[in-house]
Amino acid sequence: MTLILSIAIIITMLTSLVLVARWYNLRCEGPLPAPLFTFIAILFTSGLDVGLIMFPLVDFEAYASEEAYSFTNPLAFEFGFWGFLVWGFYFLTTFYFCIVEPKLKLFEIPIIKFINNVIIIGTCAFTGYLFLIYLPSYIEGISDTFRFALVALVVLMAALSSTHIRFIAILSVSSTWLFFLLIAGVWFSSGMGVTGFLQSASNISGYFENIQRFVLPVSDYHQFYLYWWFAWSIMIGQFVARFAGGLKAWQLLLALLVVPSIPIAIWFSVLYYYFVNDLVISDFWRISMIVVGVIFVVNSLDSLIRLYTRNLNLTVDRLGLKKYITGNWAALFGLVLLYQFTPLEIEWVGVVVIGLYAAVYALTFKRRRELAIG
C-alpha cells in the first residue's frame, strides 16, 4: 500500500510541475466562475471537515511522544499533514476538469463514470460514518441516541443545502468567516497576544526545513492522511473546477498551495500555544469548535451530494424537491449505518482512486492528438 501511494504521489507531483512549466499562462475557468475568495472558500470548506478543528490537540500529543516524529516539532507535523503540498492534489484535478475533461470527456465513459460516482457516494457516506464514530472524542459523554440523531441531522442539512448551488456557495463563505471568528476568539481568550502567537507560529518553519520528508509517508498515520487527500482529490477537483475564475495555471497552483494554508497555519499555531503552555480551552470555545466543525461536515457532504446527483441526473428538477431530499438523506444515512458492519478503510478508497488516475492518464495519452491546449 505504501509503495502504491508513493509512486502515485511522485507521478502526480511531477505532472503538476510539467503542467505549470508548459502551460503556465493558460487560464483555468469553469462554467460558473466565482471571485477568488468564494472559490477558495468553496474549496476550503468542501475539502475539509471537523478533523481540521478538533484533531490538532490530540495529534500534538502523539507527535511529541512517538519516535517517528522526532525530526521536527508537533506543529510542523500537523501543518504538514493538512497544509501546503497536499493541496497540490487539488491543483492537478482542478486543472484537468477545467482544461482536459471538456475536450476529452473521459468521465462520461460509462465505466469511469460508474466508478467515479461509486467513489463519491461511498466517500460521502464514509465521511458521515467517521463523524459518527469520532463524535465521542469531540463531545464527551454524548449518548448514542444524540450521536445518531446529530449525524442524521447533518446529513439532512447537507441534502437541503445541496438543492441549489447558491446555497452551497453561501454556506461555504459563511462558514469560512465563522472559522476566522473562531480563530480570533480562541486566540484572544488565551492571552497569547501577538508575541506569543508569533513564537508559536515560528515552529511551522520546521515543516519547510524538512519539506522533502513530507512528500512520502513518514508513518502509518501520515499515510492515512495522504490516502485521504488522494481519495478526495478527483471529486473535489471535479466540483470546484466549476467555480474556477480564470486564474492562470501558475496562479492557480500558487493560490491553492498558499491561500488555504494561511488560516490552517494560524489556527494550528493558536492551538499549539495552548498545548505547549498546558492551557485549557473553555467550554464556550469548545462548543464553538464543535459547531464550526459540524458546519464544515455539512459543507463537505453537500458538495459531494450536489456532484453525484448532477453526474447521475438525479437533480431536484427531475425528482422534485421532496423526493430529492428524502432520497439522498435515506441513502446516505443508511450507508453511514451500514459502514458499522464493514471493515472499509480510506486506504482502499484511495487505491481505487489511484487506479482511476492511472486509467485517465492512459486514456489522455492515447487521445492526446484530440487535446489541443493553447
Residue 148: CATH number of its domain? 1.10.4160
pLDDT tens digits, one per residue of 51-96: 888 889 889 999 999 988 999 999 999 999 999 999 999 999 999 9
Task: Give the whole-angstrom CA distance, residue 234 versus residue 252.
Answer: 16
Q: What is the pLDDT of residue 154?
A: 94
pLDDT tens digits, one per residue of 200-236: 999 999 999 999 999 999 999 999 899 989 889 999 9
Q: What is the pLDDT of residue 89?
A: 92
pLDDT band at 179 (very low <50, low <70, confident <90, very high): very high
pLDDT tens digits, one per residue of 144-168: 899 999 999 999 999 999 999 888 8
Q: Look up residue 28 and give its three cell numbers.
A: 483555468
| Domain assignment of residue 273, yes or no | yes
pLDDT band at 141 (very low <50, low <70, confident <90, very high): confident
Least confident of 117-126, 134-143, 157-166, 269-278: 134-143
| Domain assignment of residue 261, yes or no | yes
Q: What is the pLDDT of residue 323?
A: 94
Q: Look up residue 111 and give its three cell numbers.
A: 465505466
pLDDT tens digits, one per residue of 187-201: 999 999 999 999 999
Q: What pTM value is reported for the model? A: 0.91
Return the closest-CA partner of residue 183 out of 294, 288, 280, 47. Answer: 288
Q: Count structural domains, the chain.
A: 1
DSSP, collapsed to helix, strand or coil, labels residue 293 as helix
| Domain assignment of residue 373, yes or no | no
Task: Give the whole-angstrom CA distance, residue 141 versus residue 336.
Answer: 21
Q: Look up residue 235 and give its three cell numbers.
A: 471529486
pLDDT tens digits, one per residue of 340-359: 877 777 788 889 999 999 99
Average confidence (pLDDT) over 319-323: 93
Residue 29 pLDDT exceeds 80: yes
| Domain assignment of residue 133, yes or no | yes
Residue 130 pLDDT exceeds 90: no
Q: What is the pLDDT of residue 370?
A: 78
Residue 1 pLDDT exceeds 80: no
Residue 178 pLDDT exceeds 80: yes
Residue 5 pLDDT exceeds 60: yes
Average confidence (pLDDT) over 323-328: 95
| Domain assignment of residue 232, yes or no | yes
| Domain assignment of residue 100, yes or no | yes
Q: Which residue has the higher pLDDT, 1 or 40?
A: 40
pLDDT tens digits, one per residue of 254-274: 999 999 999 999 999 999 999
The per-residue pLDDT of the chain, averaged, comes to 91
Q: What is the pLDDT of residue 279?
A: 93
**Helix-, strand-, coil-residue percentages of the chain, each rounded to 5:** 80, 0, 15
159-172: b (≥16 Cβ within 10 Å) or e: bbbbbebeebbebb
Residue 374 pLDDT exceeds 60: no
Residue 19 pLDDT exceeds 60: yes
Domain that holds residue 107: 2-367
Q: What is the pLDDT of residue 309?
A: 94
| Domain assignment of residue 372, yes or no | no
